[in-house]
Amino acid sequence: MVRLIAVRLFHTIVVTLIVSLIVFALLHFAPGDPVSNVYGEQNVDAAQRAALRLKLGLDDPIWQQYLNFIGNAVRGDLGVSIFQQQPVTSLIGPALMATLELTIASLIVSIAIGLPVAIISALKQNSIYDRAGSFFALFGISMPSFWLGIVLILIMSVYLGVLPVEGRVGTGISIDNITGLNTLDALLTGNWEGLWSALLHLVLPAVTLGMAIAATLARVLRSSLIDIKNQEFIEALRARGLSQATVVRHMLRNAFPPTVIMVGIKIGSLLGGAIVIEVVFSWPGLGRLIVTAISARDYPLIEGGVLVMAVLFVLVNLVTDLVHGVLDPRIRVGTRSGV
Amino acid sequence: MKSLMKRLITTWTRLGSAGGIAAIFCLLVVLIALLAPFLAPLDPDRQDLAARLLPPFSGDHIFGTDSLGRDILSRLIVGTRASLVVAFTAVSISLVIGVGIGLVSGYFGGKLDAVLMRFVDAFLAFPFLLLAITIIAILGPGTRNIIIALIVSEWVVYVRLVRGETLSLREREFIMSARMLGVSKPAIMIKHILPNIYGPILVVSTLELGIVIVTEASLSFLGLGGNASTATWGAMLADGRSHLSTAWWLATLPGLAIFLVVLAVNMLGDALRDYTDPRMKGYRRGGEIPTTEIAEPSPPMELPPVESSIR
Amino acid sequence: MVRSMRKNSRIGARRSATVATAAAAVLALVLAGCGGGNKAADPTSAGGTNGSAAAPAGGEGGQLVVGVSDQILNLDPGLAPTGGRETIAVRNLIFDTLVLQGNDLKPVARLADSWTNPDDNTWIFKLHPGVSFTNGEPFNAEIAKYNVDRVLDPELQLSYFSQLSSIVDSVEATDADTLTIKTKGASPGLLTILAYMQMVPQKNMEEVGDDAFNKAPIGTGPFKFDKRVGDQVYLTRNDDYWGGKPKLDGVVFQTIPEVSSRIAALKSGSIHIANQIPPDLSATLTGNVKSETVTGTRIFFLAMNVDQAPFDDPAVRRAMSDAIDRESIVENLYAGEGVALNQVGYPAMLGYQKDIDGFAFDPDAARKVLEGITTPVVIDVGQSDATLAQAVYGQLEAAGLKNVTVRIVEDSAFSAAKEGGTTQAYVGSWGVAEGDLDAVLIRHFWSGRSDTSKYTNYSSPEMDKLIETEQAIVDPAKRGELFKPIADLLITDVPWAPIITPNEIYGVSTNVSGWEPSPIGLFQLQDTTIAG
């Protein structure tokens, strides 16, 4: 296990280096100039533009810029955002927490929907419930999530006016920052008004994002449950006259490992893939932060943001594999990881 | 002729009614794409600023008009072609690239495999949409460049899939004996391994098709669709977003089109999976992953990434 | 949405580019029906929850919440990027400037009560006596001099450095209330620059430094900086404001990039004013909200590269312009909210020629030329103006131009292409908050421009001479006449086919009074009240 972790950590470093190289190369080739974006339409002469370029180190050879970036990143310094004049880390922090909060909420939503659907479908295989469940799953997977988001906004906010569509909490409501997860912070400080506001703001984006995972979860869990249902030890449990609930509990325990992997991979893709949702709901997450930075060519912010996202993605995969290994001793994770 | 009919019937029964319906729907969509210029009731590009944002069933405009007074139905029909061309091209090219690299990586293994896999991991860890945005920023707008951006993010899916399959196949007896008989490595890969993984590749490609359609729409939605003169579903949807409260049909109809096509493609993919190999449940990106028995030959980390439509 | 920061940092107002913001963009849509009687949606309670005094009777006090489309960047007036009009608006409440641009775009008194020009190169400002910063530091001519000197310091490279240093020769505090600025030559643009140079306290700035000052700015303005929470900036009233105590307790600026969300927030009562309302949606502002409109200052145009076929022929450029039905665009696409431009410039601008015919829709004349063009034409456009570009494309096609396409280009790449002069044609815009044609000329049509931008590659010795003549005169009336031949030349040469200057539309809650929209996006809130 220790060796596995060491190997995987080494992989994480290699992957991160490759990702940062790709980012740097891409930015180097992309047309556009942060200096020109900083001054915009303002009448600033060529000399002053050159001065800013010098200050930002943009005239250095690309390899030197890269080495500087990596050198600082190792020390935990991701530089200063060209546009917001704040350390990149202090911009990424809150955005990352916003994305995490959305991710966690979506996972909760997806489990709340996906789990019952899977159990009912599996127990009543090929019944009308099963078909309905399968159709729901297919539906959830096929629906472009940004479109679902738009339709939900249309119904819940524009016509019914019952849910907010914008940001994380209401105006004038301030939640003390402890963890950066608004709902948790509000709960910890007993700020009920803040909690209510934060929860209301979470509903639509979390449901939109959660639907797709719920669908996937339902499919995976259903097929695992069906596989297990027909195995001998379950038959044996039934034969011993255990209650349905107990049998289901045993089935679930055995169906979890593959489901955990799926959910783990899902978190990874959520972290990076929810960009459109963040745009639709003006959710101040990491994806949107990076998208904005790209359009402004805010190099330090793009590089830092992508790096953090990549590290997270790899770490989540690592944790998933470890959890899976613990849950399911039959699998010797890492014995053939290509090392 | 008779045997063809018979084959069609058996195919139908094996695909199941849902798969059959999906197949017919997909066929219909392809036909619409092919015949788009003839099917569009009105010129999809003709603007009429005085008749903009008309609701459905206004005069000639069955689905209404958009923010420049263009006929939405005609644009939806023409947009079918644009969306499908992008999706088919992107999927087939990434398929070729991915299969090639996957075969080599899986068959030779060792250091080469380790290095290739780190690159694959890096591409997977790179937030896809951001990669696409940057690539389009570099290459400039246009259909060709959108396809390139999609390929850059898609190829790794096939590498993972093919590598995993190859890894498990290369230890099998018939490959071993081919090797003993002195069959060359390329020949083993192409003649012996590849035919054995057609099934999974076909299934994954079908499912990826749906994902690529959604991704293309997402890019247009973010304003990176490229050529504004061509109608695409994603661009139509993006155009309609700011008119949600006043003209709901602008965003709703193209969204529905995307949804229905992706739904049909997914249903077809599901049916194909059952048809080709009922055990092949693992390679559903955004779908199921192998149950433990199937996972035996390839441990979890070789699994294809699950991304589904959240893009 | 993903949009560019392109139009940031403009001196003066600009159309906000609706930058998707990085930090929290938050709004309360906590509706009463949902919150079980929770009145968070009630605007007055927004002030209450923030700890300030509850709204007193008589319609005074309370906290005004303004929802803006763009993020609020630096609050230290010197740092680059200067930020968009939203940022400038916030700073203009915290700080004062020597002069202010009024709603007619002409300079009016603020910290300077009056000013005179003994000669073309000398400006003498009489400052308002007895003004002090909110930390107690006095404001006087010495401080004003410090502020000008600070911008002129080549070490600091503050955002107006090159602009001001190219004009100003010396600054003197003649006495406590008199500031004398000597310019290198006649400089008609000085007042406009001063209108954006916000006065900072010397002692505090020197003590804390730029970065700390940026986080906790101190000025002489009607409101004091309180705090930043995510995407919100909180301001509280400056009770001792020299210009009279404001009626509001405080103001919150909140970034809400998505326009539909801004409108939803306005209608639910969680914000009182929303900027950047598209014309199509202004009709939806009914009931407890209304729309307020003011003439804008941004010019939208089709630019054509005079170095590239087919636009190397002025007749073709003219035909392109003739093909554009500006009236139809204004009436339909902009719901009548805008001015169709028959020349480079909008009516309120110095340099606008009332008496010329200028560009007009002439499809027959356009067709004669355009039908003969076989060269493919590619019109580039940034992500935010795609709809206008497509409308232009439709009209060009209708006028017989074949082989024309519109490409939507990623914003930064678009800027690079424009500035490099490599686009064949593009639909773009330029903000002219200065209200002075010169502001366009020196950036787009003058060969002596100070940056390296190429845009249309237009260059004409005749134009250069006319521009240099106009720049050497301070008196606006005299300059106005000098713009006539320039306007004529722009119509002959057609590097731009101007299209429209759209109105600025704001959504306002009906219980807000004493506020009017500004064409340059500033917020004058001294007399603003919220009815309880």
CA-nearest residue to C384 within chain B is B223
Is residue C143 within 8 Å of C115, Cβ to Cβ? no
A236 to chain C, closest Cα gap in Å:
51
Distance, in Å, from the CA atom of C400 to the CA atom of C373, rounded to the nearest integer, reads 9
Pick from A295, A297, A308 the residue to mutate for testing the C interface (most C CBs within 10 Å): A295
A280 to chain C, closest Cα gap in Å:
8
- Position C53: which residue type? A
Return the DSSP state at C21: P
Distance, in Å, from the CA atom of B7 to the CA atom of A281, rounded to the nearest integer, reads 50
The answer to whether the CB atoms of C416 and A37 lie below 8 A apart is no
User: B245 falls in which pLDDT band (50, 70, 90)?
Assistant: confident
The answer to whether the CB atoms of A41 and C443 lie below 8 A apart is yes
The answer to whether the CB atoms of B228 and C391 lie below 8 A apart is no
User: A234 falls in which pLDDT band (50, 70, 90)?
Assistant: confident
Query: Kindly report the CA angle at C208 between C205 and C211, in degrees rounded to 5?
Result: 90
Distance, in Å, from the CA atom of C325 to the CA atom of C367, rounded to the nearest integer, reads 13
pLDDT greater than 60 at residue C6: no
Cis link prior to C43 (omega < 30° from 0)? no
For residue A268, give both structure tokens.
Answer: 């990874």
Instruction: Report chain B's mean pLDDT, rounded to a whole number.
Output: 79
The answer to whether the CB atoms of C20 and A91 lie below 8 A apart is no
A258 to chain C, closest Cα gap in Å:
36
Is residue C78 within 8 Å of A211, Cβ to Cβ? no
Strand partners, C236: C224, C250
The answer to whether the CB atoms of B218 and A146 lie below 8 A apart is yes
The answer to whether the CB atoms of B125 and A310 lie below 8 A apart is yes
The answer to whether the CB atoms of C407 and B142 lie below 8 A apart is yes
Distance, in Å, from the CA atom of A195 to the CA atom of A189, rounded to the nearest integer, reads 10
Does B225 contact C at CB distance below 8 Å? Answer: yes
Cis link prior to C310 (omega < 30° from 0)? yes
Distance, in Å, from the CA atom of C283 to the CA atom of C338, rounded to the nearest integer, reads 15
According to the 3-state scheme, what is the secondary structure of chain A? CHHHHHHHHHHHHHHHHHHHHHHHHHHHHCCCCHHHHHHCCCCCCHHHHHHHHHHCCCCCCHHHHHHHHHHHHHCCCCCECCCCCCEHHHHHHHHHHHHHHHHHHHHHHHHHHHHHHHHHHHHCCCCHHHHHHHHHHHHHHHCCHHHHHHHHHHHHHHHCCCCCCCCCCCCCCCCCCCCCCHHHHHHHHCCHHHHHHHHHHHHHHHHHHHHHHHHHHHHHHHHHHHHHHCCHHHHHHHHCCCCHHHHHHHHHHHHHHHHHHHHHHHHHHHHHHCHHHHHHCCCCCHHHHHHHHHHHCCHHHHHHHHHHHHHHHHHHHHHHHHHHHHHCCCCCCCCCCCC
The answer to whether the CB atoms of A22 and B126 lie below 8 A apart is yes
Chains near B (3 or more Cβ pairs under 8 Å): A, C
Characterize the bridge pairing of strands C377-381 and C404-408: parallel
Does C42 contact A at CB distance below 8 Å? Answer: no
C153 to chain B, closest Cα gap in Å:
37
C406 to chain B, closest Cα gap in Å:
5
Count CA atoms within 13 Å of residue B73 on its CB side: 16
Pick from B301, B302, B303 the residue to mutate for testing the A interface (most A CBs within 10 Å): B301
CA-nearest residue to B138 within chain C is C413
CA-nearest residue to B208 within chain A is A142
Residues of B in contact with C412 (CB under 8 A): 137
Pick from C412, C414, C445, C452 the residue to mutate for testing the A interface (most A CBs within 10 Å): C412
Question: In chain C, what is the straight-line distance between the N-terminal and C-terminal CA atoms, in Å?
Answer: 35
pLDDT greater than 80 at residue C155: yes
Question: In chain B, what is the straight-line distance between the N-terminal and C-terminal CA atoms, in Å?
Answer: 45
Is pLDDT larger for residue B199 or for residue C227?
C227
Strand partners, C116: C124
Distance, in Å, from the CA atom of C67 to the CA atom of C51, rounded to the nearest integer, reads 20
Count CA atoms within 13 Å of residue B90 on its CB side: 31
Chains near A (3 or more Cβ pairs under 8 Å): B, C
The answer to whether the CB atoms of B227 and C391 lie below 8 A apart is no
Is residue C144 within 8 Å of C98, Cβ to Cβ? yes
Question: Position of tokens 């509903």?
Answer: A203
User: Helix, strand or coil for residue C139?
Assistant: strand
H-run or E-run covering C263: helix C259-268
Does C518 contact A at CB distance below 8 Å? Answer: no
pLDDT greater than 60 at residue B293: no
- C 82-121 near A (Cβ less than 8 A): 82
A189 to chain B, closest Cα gap in Å:
34
pLDDT greater than 60 at residue B270: yes
Helices (H), C343-460: 363-370, 386-398, 411-420, 438-444
H-run or E-run covering C149: helix C141-152
Average pLDDT of the residues in B116-122: 85
Nearest to C25 by CA among A281, B47, A199, A88: A281
Among the residue ranges A190-199, C74-83, C85-94, C513-522, the one predicted with the least confidence is A190-199
Distance, in Å, from the CA atom of C225 to the CA atom of C217, rounded to the nearest integer, reads 6
Kindly provide the residue ranges of all beta strands, DSSP E only, lying in C111-246, ordered along the sequence: 112-116, 122-127, 131-132, 138-139, 168-175, 178-183, 223-229, 232-237
Distance, in Å, from the CA atom of C186 to the CA atom of C168, rounded to the nearest integer, reads 10
Q: What is the model's pTM?
A: 0.85
The pLDDT value given to residue A180 = 78
Does C214 contact A at CB distance below 8 Å? Answer: yes
pLDDT greater than 60 at residue C278: yes
C129 to chain A, closest Cα gap in Å:
32
Residues 6+ apart with CB under 8 A from A80: A86, A87, A88, A300
Distance, in Å, from the CA atom of B152 to the CA atom of C231, rounded to the nearest integer, reads 35
Residues of A in contact with B137 (CB under 8 A): 30-32, 294
In this structure, the number of other CB atoms found within 10 A of the CB of residue B109 comes to 16
Residues of C in contact with B142 (CB under 8 A): 407
CB contact burial C114-137 (16+ within 10 A = b; e otherwise): ebeeeeeeebbbbbbeebebbeeb
- Nearest CB among B68, B133, B241 relative to C391 is that of B68
Residues 6+ apart with CB under 8 A from B153: B123, B128, B131, B132, B215
Residues of C in contact with A42 (CB under 8 A): 9-11, 82, 159, 163
Distance, in Å, from the CA atom of A194 to the CA atom of B172, rounded to the nearest integer, reads 61
Tens of pLDDT, residue by residue over C342-357, are 999 999 999 999 999 9
pLDDT greater than 70 at residue C284: yes
pLDDT greater than 50 at residue C48: no
The pLDDT value given to residue C257 = 82
Does C416 contact A at CB distance below 8 Å? Answer: yes
A317 to chain B, closest Cα gap in Å:
8
ipTM of the complex in this document: 0.83
Tens of pLDDT, residue by residue over C171-200, are 999 999 999 999 999 998 899 999 999 999
The pLDDT value given to residue A332 = 43
- Nearest CB among C278, C329, C406 relative to B228 is that of C406
CA-nearest residue to A154 within chain B is B244
Helices (H), chain B: 2-39, 72-108, 110-125, 128-139, 143-169, 173-180, 185-187, 198-221, 233-241, 249-276, 292-295
The pLDDT value given to residue A271 = 61
User: A171 falls in which pLDDT band (50, 70, 90)?
Assistant: low
Distance, in Å, from the CA atom of C509 to the CA atom of C287, rounded to the nearest integer, reads 9
pLDDT greater than 80 at residue A19: yes
Pick from C29, C71, C262 the residue to mutate for testing the A interface (most A CBs within 10 Å): C29
In this structure, the number of other CB atoms found within 10 A of the CB of residue A322 comes to 17
Distance, in Å, from the CA atom of A165 to the CA atom of C29, rounded to the nearest integer, reads 8
CA-nearest residue to A42 within chain C is C10
Nearest to C450 by CA among A38, A54, A35, A48: A48
Distance, in Å, from the CA atom of A214 to the CA atom of A270, rounded to the nearest integer, reads 13
Instruction: Report chain C's mean pLDDT, rounded to a whole number.
Output: 86
User: Helix, strand or coil for residue B175?
Assistant: helix
Distance, in Å, from the CA atom of B25 to the CA atom of A17, rounded to the nearest integer, reads 45
For residue A3, give both structure tokens.
Answer: 């060796």
Average pLDDT of the residues in C66-92: 91
Tens of pLDDT, residue by residue over A271-303, are 655 778 887 787 888 888 888 898 889 999 999
Distance, in Å, from the CA atom of C262 to the CA atom of C441, rounded to the nearest integer, reads 35
Tens of pLDDT, residue by residue over C383-400, are 889 899 999 999 999 999
Give, in order, the Cα–Cα distances in Å from C199 to each of B111, C92, C154, C202. Answer: 64, 10, 18, 9
Query: Kindly report the CA angle at C74 between C70 and C76, in degrees rounded to 5?
Result: 145
